[in-house]
Amino acid sequence: MAGQLPAGFLRRTDAQDVRSDVESARGSTVEERAEVLVALCRMAAELASQHDRPQRVLDWQDPCSPETDALLRRLRARDRRRG
C-alpha cells in the first residue's frame, strides 16, 4: 500500500522477533541445531579470545525488556501447568 513504511521500520513486538528468529530452526533436526550451537560457541570463543577481558565477554547478557520478562513469566507458568 502506498505511503506505508517498509516492514523494517515498523515496531515489532518481542514475541514477533522471537518467532522470526526461530523460524529457520522449525523442522530442523537435532543434529542440525547442534551444528548451529557448535558454530555459535566457536564464534563466542573467538570473540572472547580477542578481548582484553575475555570473561567479561562470556559473562555478558543483554538485558530483557519488560515485554520479554512478561512473556517469559507466562511461558514458564504455562509449562508448570503442563507438568
Mean pLDDT by 10 residues, the chain (83 residues): 70 84 88 95 92 89 90 93 85
- Is 50 domain-assigned? yes
- Is 7 domain-assigned? no
- Is 4 domain-assigned? no
Split into its structural domains, the chain has a count of: 1
Cell of 58: 562470556
- Is 40 domain-assigned? yes
- Is 58 domain-assigned? yes
Please report the DSSP string for 30-67 in residue order: HHHHHHHHHHHHHHHHHHHHTSSSHHHHHH--PPPPHH
Dist CA 33 CA 38 (whole Å): 9
- Is 71 domain-assigned? yes
- Is 19 domain-assigned? no
What's residue 2's pLDDT?
A: 53
Dist CA 75 CA 18 (whole Å): 13
